Amino acid sequence: MAGDDFVIDVSRIRDEARQKMADGAVTSTYGLDTGKVIAVLNDVVATEVVCWLRYTRHAISATGIDRAQVAAEFTEHAAEEMQHALRAAERIAQLGGEPDFDPATLAQRAHTDYTTPDEKDLKAMLEHNLLAERIVISTYQEIARWLGDHDPTTRRLIESILEEEEEHADDLTDLLAV
């Protein structure tokens, strides 16, 4: 069995762990360039903030007969997008980076657009958010694949956010089908 061949060089790892103590959670076994991962995560932060802004705006502006149900869903999604932004920002800090919430560059860095359909057009709002969710699902899948086994913690974070984005897309699809 391949597992029988597994040998871990603990004395080397103990020596390396003592070096660069200021790097905190980032050790010599970290498999990627932290600068690149931080840059990718900062685009995730921007994407999540733009999604939070879009859902919040749509929840407040929505009018019409199905307003209450649609606005409640947008409000719930908005709260989750904000949590996604915070979780990505926490991971950036853990990797030794600075989370970038600069409003001057948020829209350019985000994977999705901030759009404001007519307030009476609930269907257009649902479609704009579904499109955004589908873009995010694709970009996060690519990020998770790129991270692979090189940074399992960031990959699990992205996968856990991805799972919620898929739920968002499913919720919107259900509402569009009503």
Instruction: Give the CA distances from residue 159 to residues 115, 145, 170, in Å, rounded to whole numbers and listed in that order.
Output: 26, 10, 16
Q: How far apart are CA 116 and CA 129, in angstroms?
A: 10
Q: Using the minimum distance from each CB to Fe ion, give the nearer residue, 62 or 172.
A: 172
Per-residue binding letters, 87-126, with Fe ion (x by CB under 5 A): ----------------------------------------
- Sequence ranges of the binding site for Fe cation: 48, 84, 133, 165, 168
Q: Which of residues 64-83 bind Fe ion (CB under 5 A)?
A: 81
Residue 89 CB coordination number (10 Å): 21
Of positions 73, 100, 151, 165, contacts Fe ion by CB under 5 A: 165
Q: Which of residues 44-63 bind Fe ion (CB under 5 A)?
A: 48
125 near 115, Cβ under 8 Å? Answer: no
- For the bound state, the minimum distance from the C-beta of residue 168 to Fe ion, rounded and expressed in Å, comes to 4
91 near 36, Cβ under 8 Å? Answer: no
Q: Using the minimum distance from each CB to Fe ion, give the nearer residue, 30 or 114.
A: 114
Q: How far apart are CA 165 and CA 163, in angstroms?
A: 6
Query: Which residues of the chain form contacts with Fe ion (CB under 5 A)?
Result: 48, 81, 84, 133, 165, 168
